Amino acid sequence: MSEETRSIYFIEETQSIEGAYVEVQTLYVADNEEDAKEAYENMLKQSNRKSFGLLLNEYVIRADQSYFMQLMRAWKKLPADFYRKMKVLTYRPLAEYQG
């Protein structure tokens, strides 16, 4: 298994905030920053959501190549233990809207 490092972009919606615990729902995942920004802008234009905010985040992740393929193909259905098999190297918020 060969590991590689990639940036993955997540659009997430904050569902609830309780103390230091923040619950988010992932709405979109992309491996291209421009696609993610375009999707984020479209979601902002159509946003009638009642949430604490819409986030566009970049995660730099190290994982086996097959995990990236699985992540992009089926990110909505992946179990939590899938995410434990990768290492988030850096995290950078790219945009945030609080409605």
Q: What is the DSSP string of 47-71?
A: ----SSEEEEEEEEEEEEHHHHHHH
Between 26 and 99, residue with greater pLDDT: 26
Q: Which two tokens stand for residue 88?
A: 């988030």
**Per-residue confidence at 35, pLDDT binned at 50, 70, 90?**
very high
pLDDT confidence of residue 64: 81
pLDDT in tens, 76-94: 665 555 555 666 666 777 7
E-strand ranges in 1-99 read 3-18, 21-30, 53-64, 87-97
> With a threshold of 0.85, does the pTM exceed it?
no
